[in-house]
Amino acid sequence: MSATEPIMEARALVKRYGHVVALAGTDFELYPGEILAVIGDNGAGKSTLIKALSGALQPDGGEIRLGGERVHFRSPRDARRAGIETVYQDLAVAPSLDIASNIFLGRERRLRGPVGSVLRMLDKRGMRREAARHFAELKIGLPSITQAVENLSGGQRQGVAVARASAWGRRLVIMDEPTAALGVKETRQVLDLIREVRERGLPVILISHDMPHVFELADRIHIMRLGKRVAVVTPQSHTMPEAVAIMTGASQAELEQAMTKEEP
């Protein structure tokens, strides 16, 4: 890993809300082609970190580099323009619009010629074709690209959000608790989808509470505690209880005690 340059990195990021220090000088690296899980207890600063990386908030200190160059995102739109797409926990889709419209929402394509430039008419067929292609690439099966998103299951909706992110993300995709609202079978589909995104060459930052999923998917695990990165581990180097112990700040003695309790 040390030979390659990180695609995205952050140094000594600080974010304060009044007296509350949400980020206390944390570092961060994401390497090409990897799934990096970010874990941490509630209030450890993981969502603040993700918001800073996706442009949803501006850090008070520190720096963020993308492909080696320093960036200052003032809004999620800036980050998106730089090639960073985010899949939000609460599914940023418009339920009454169809699948193709959702893929192109906010980035609609107009017809060529005066019909497009003067009348501003949409290229609906072109957008549908393009959307169908993305779904085929990600191996997502959908009834029809003209279905309204509200008629889809939770997993299929999340599929739409992931497909949109991977269609537009040129550098990386951030996924914030993508399986939090899903059932077992649908969760499985979304996990496969996340792998599929990595196979296409896009690195993924995955925020999740679900340790088994994190250990199944992630190449590396970035652990946050009290606004700082306390460790970066891999599923091979550490066990789940060890990772949880680092996350919660349990001492080595407490950890051993917990481990022996588990195995009577």
Partner 1 sequence: MTTSDLTSDQPRGALWATVGLVRRVLAAPTVGPLLALLLTVGFFSVRSDNFLQAQNLSLVLQQVMVVGVLAIGQTLVILTAGIDLSCGTVMAFGQIVMTKLAVESGVDPILAILLGMLACVGFGILNGGLVTAVRLPAFIVTLGTLNIAYALTHIYSNDETYFPLPSELLYFGRTFTLFGADFTYGVVLMLVLYAVAWFALTQTAWGRHVYAVGDDPEAARLTGIKTGRVLLSVYTVAGLTYGIAALLLVSRTELGDPLAGQSTENLDAITAVVLGGTSLFGGRGTIIGTLIGAVIVGVFRNGLTLIGVEVIYQYLVTGILVILAVSVDQLTHRRRQ
Binding site for partner 1 (CB under 8 A): 76-77, 80, 86, 88, 90-97, 101, 105-108, 110, 119-122, 124, 150
Q: Closest separation between CB of residue 212 and partner 1, Å?
A: 28
Q: Closest separation between CB of residue 75 and partner 1, Å?
A: 9
Strand order across the beta sheet in which 35-40 lies? 84-87, 172-176, 204-207, 35-40, 220-225, 228-233
User: What does the alpha-carbon distance between residue 247 and residue 102 come to, in Å, rounded to a whole number?
Assistant: 37
User: What does the alpha-carbon distance between residue 81 and residue 77 come to, in Å, rounded to a whole number?
Assistant: 6
Nearer to partner 1, 120 or 195 (CB): 120
Q: Which two tokens stand for residue 164?
A: 């949109």
Q: Closest separation between CB of residue 165 and partner 1, Å?
A: 11
Q: Closest separation between CB of residue 178 and partner 1, Å?
A: 14
- Could you give the count of Cα atoms lying within 13 Å of 203 in the half-sphere of its Cβ? 21
Q: Closest separation between CB of residue 77 and partner 1, Å?
A: 5
Nearer to partner 1, 26 or 101 (CB): 101
